[in-house]
Structure 1
Amino acid sequence: MTVLLGVDLGGSSTKVVLQHGSTVRDQRVLPGRLSADGLPGLAAALRDAAGGDEIAGVGVTVPGILDETTGVVRRSVNLPWLDGRDVAAEVSALVGAPAVAMHDGRAAALAEAVLGAGRGTRDVYVLTLGTGVAGAHVVDGSARPGAHGAAGEIGHVSLDPEGLPCGCGQRGCLETVVGAPSLLRRWQQRTGRTGGAVSAISDAADAGDPDARAVLDEAGAALATALLGLVAVLDPGLVVLGGGVGESGVLRARVEAGLRARATFHVVPPVVPAGLGRWAGARGAALAAGRVAVAG
């Protein structure tokens, strides 16, 4: 039996999906942040996941800018050891099967558009809100990479040139306002409380806490600004909010209200939660693996 593997490289863990055809046979999380010398260990984990089955293809997500023509990672803010590496070629050599690398936001978007919340809609924009912020435009089942493989970095659109420094080198990027670490940092600055999760801010806001509401209102307004520009440029038929922050619903109502209040000529699309949860990136990588397996 042949299987496909989808690998989602993340800032704190690696998710792996194993598929036979379109059927998901296994999903597992490899804990810990993958380091520069971790690819052989990852390959061993993939072979273990496959058992005795033949691996027909592997898809790997990259959290950063990827030249999809050469397969070389141009810049990964959250996993900088990926910079300059052809991850697909390395994984292919280690596993002994065709492999393809894909921007993590585009992988998640592809899965959501084809299999998840966007299924049945031909023009979908998927925004992933988690530790980082990424997005992708999927039209007719194809996630658009851009001319240089850099499309989708909506988290690094600067909304305030005098704002907080971002890991990409700019200031005031969307990610510095709506990324999960940024939400928690702003919450801590206002209240002095440390630790916790974004859900704690949401719970406090629901209970009437003015500091929590201010943090979420600011984030919702920033995201609405970014999406209004996106609607003006791309005119998507549907916007899907994924990732831990997007799916929690803490910002969705605020974003929808902001879009409706500020739209003029814009046709505001429905804004819906993602349907595949934290496995969207790995599922998208598995879709890409199926395509490279057929091509190979």
Structure 2
Amino acid sequence: MGKTDNNKSPIVLKSRENETGAAWRIWKKYNDIFGKNITMFCALVVIFITVSIVIFISAKGLSTFVKDGISPLHFLFSTQWWPDRPLEEGGPLVGSFAFIVGSLIISLLAVLVSAPLSIIVAVFMVEIAENWAYKVLQPAIEILAGIPSVVYGYVGLSLLVPFIRESMGGSGFSILAGFLVLSVMILPTVISVSADALRSLPGEWKEAALALGSTRWQTIRLVLVPAARSGLITGVILGLSRAFGEALAVQMVIGNTRKLPTSILDPIITLTSAITMDMGYTVTGHLWNNALWSMALLLLTMSLFFITLIRFFSRKGVVQ
């Protein structure tokens, strides 16, 4: 009768176990190498795409100053925007100061409205809200984050602009309409980052404050919010970055007038609006087209500046 596997000698079984273990270790080694290489490849692709975009926009944007001979000071600080003016009338002028001012006014006012409200909502969600309130509030914030920007713009165009026109005067297309729409759009970003910053605080800090006799409001105001300040500032900067780069929703409600405003009810134009409105009417290599790429380069520079601020404030111990 033939021997079964149970009757095999211990030496044979041990040998097979060693072979199986060796094969497993070899497979695991090559699997780790493959995983490491594929993740490194993906990381290099992302780096390559980022560097390529920066180089491409920089090359296009600098053409205004290198190829066309426009002064950077004139481009940044002049309000004269006549990119298609013929040579016999003095030639084209590409001053973008009105666009820059418009972007800064709309973005900063939106953050001034949105930041306090977002931080209060984040504190309520993390420290005050009951479980049922959190379950209602969290989906509402996610819905706000998922609404397309064109919907925000259309709602503002249909409801906010007529309301401003009928109750305050003017055309309704104004700075007021722009930053109100934008402040609602950036709420989810600031709320999410602020709530995460508050949740990351050690629970012992809250317990220690309460043990010393602090009320819940004193604990929030004097301990938790100051301790999470760097995260809260990071959320505000992220919201400002989103506001500065928003185009479609703002473009629909601000009037897009190329002049400096004198009132909050005046129409205005932003960098993103100018790019989206004019890019389809320009010819590649022409001064007008290059000037729009220079405005895109300016937006990219501002985004890099915001990223630098976020990294600065995110470092442990920067904000005391």
TM range (shorter): under 0.3
Higher helix share: 2
Higher strand share: 1
| Structure with bigger gyration radius | 2
